């Protein structure tokens, strides 16, 4: 009896937890659990080198409209033996504030060689790599790549996720044919499903006609 009661309380609390998202937001896995994820800002594997404020759980939160469009993308990719892998989607404003605070500490260059070897940290604001506002905070922007379902390996896109440099521009010319083809595959399938690309980052897409165009949210990812 105690075990049954415990399971009931656990299930109820989980349901309650899921309902705390603002109206219009969903957990991506509730729409399509086959989409893979690797939340870089929940780990030390990012351009700062430590977990980012506001990331408390390994879950992808996104607007409902964007989630259903990603499901369509995933359906197309699975037919080819491929899958989406999400690095980031909704991002709390406190995470953006963390980026801004870090960028102002010029002596903190722990991850420079891996993420911004040719960009002086003093130029991250001027060159647009760090800003006080982010489209991610509106909930309909997503950072992602494509993986091979059988191997789990990411397709070679020619530069790592979150690399600060011209190599990350989607149409960068100094790439192999395979790298260009992989970028174009991602770009094509996202464009066909109502996402628009960002011309400085091959991994970055925003839903067209996003529902919260002028609202920047600040609830934690948990």
Q: Backbone dihedral region of 21: left (phi > 0), alpha (psi from -120 to 50 degrees) or beta?
A: beta
DSSP per-residue codes, 172-185? -SSS-HHHHHHHHH
> CA-to-CA distance for 157 and 137, rounded, in angstroms?
25
211 token code pair: 């529902």
User: Alpha-carbon dihedral of residues 156, 159, 160, 165, nearest 10 degrees?
Assistant: -170
Which of 203, 178, 177, 209 lies closest to 190 in space, CA to CA? 203
Q: Decide: 138 and 89 in contact? Cβ < 8 Å.
A: no
Exactly one of 76, 201, 210, 222 is catalytic; name it. 201
E strand intervals along 15-148: 25-27, 36-37, 61-63, 82-88, 141-148
Q: Based on the residue annotation, tell me whether 201 is a catalytic residue of this protein.
A: yes
Beta-carbon contacts of 167 under 8 Å, excluding residues fewer than 6 positions away, are 158, 159, 174
Which of 28, 140, 23 lies closest to 90 in space, CA to CA? 140
Q: Decide: 58 and 37 in contact? Cβ < 8 Å.
A: yes
What positions carry a catalytic annotation?
Answer: 201
């Amino acid at each position: 009896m105690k075990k049954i009661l415990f399971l009931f309380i656990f299930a109820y609390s989980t349901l309650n937890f899921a309902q705390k998202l603002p109206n219009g937001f969903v957990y991506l896995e509730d729409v399509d659990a086959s989409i893979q994820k690797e939340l870089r800002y929940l780990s030390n594997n990012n351009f700062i080198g430590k977990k980012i404020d506001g990331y408390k759980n390994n879950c992808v939160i996104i607007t409902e409209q964007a989630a259903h469009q990603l499901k369509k993308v995933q359906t197309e990719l699975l037919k080819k033996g491929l899958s989406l892998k999400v690095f980031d989607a909704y991002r709390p404003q406190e995470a953006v504030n963390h980026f801004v605070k870090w960028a102002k500490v010029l002596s903190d260059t722990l991850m420079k060689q891996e993420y911004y070897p040719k960009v002086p940290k003093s130029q991250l604001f001027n060159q647009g790599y760090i800003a006080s506002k982010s489209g991610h905070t509106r909930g309909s922007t997503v950072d992602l790549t494509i993986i091979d379902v059988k191997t789990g390996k990411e397709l070679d896109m020619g530069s790592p996720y979150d690399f600060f440099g011209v190599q990350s521009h989607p149409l960068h010319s100094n790439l192999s044919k395979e790298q260009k083809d992989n970028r174009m595959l991602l770009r094509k399938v996202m464009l066909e499903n109502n996402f628009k690309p960002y011309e400085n980052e091959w991994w970055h897409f925003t839903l067209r006609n996003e529902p919260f165009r002028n609202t920047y949210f600040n609830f934690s990812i948990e």
